[in-house]
Amino acid sequence: MPLYEYECRVCKEKFEILQSIRDDGSKLRCPKCQADKPKRVLSLFILPLANRLPQPVVPQVPPELFNNKG
């Protein structure tokens, strides 16, 4: 189940909740003030694939291009 971030429309408290993708959050209440219908906010995430990303390609430059004396 995905983790969603919500913000209370009344007290602006932010909280996270695990819920089904099919659940729209209409039955949620703010854990701080108990107001109903908090607003779902965009949250950032990091994919755990950092060690699987392709390495940058470094072009091999012939040394004669660096020995330019003219």
55-67 pLDDT, tens digit per residue, is: 666 666 666 666 6
Task: Judge whether 43 and 62 are in contact, CB under 8 Å.
Answer: no
User: 20: Cβ–Cβ under 8 A, 6 or more apart, which residues?
Assistant: 1
pTM higher than 0.75 for the full model? no
Q: How far apart are the first and last CA of the chain?
A: 65
Q: Of 14-18, 22-26, 62-66, which range is least confident?
A: 62-66
Question: What pLDDT score was predicted for residue 47?
Answer: 61
pLDDT band for position 15 (cuts 50, 70, 90): very high
List the domain boundaries for the chain: 1-44
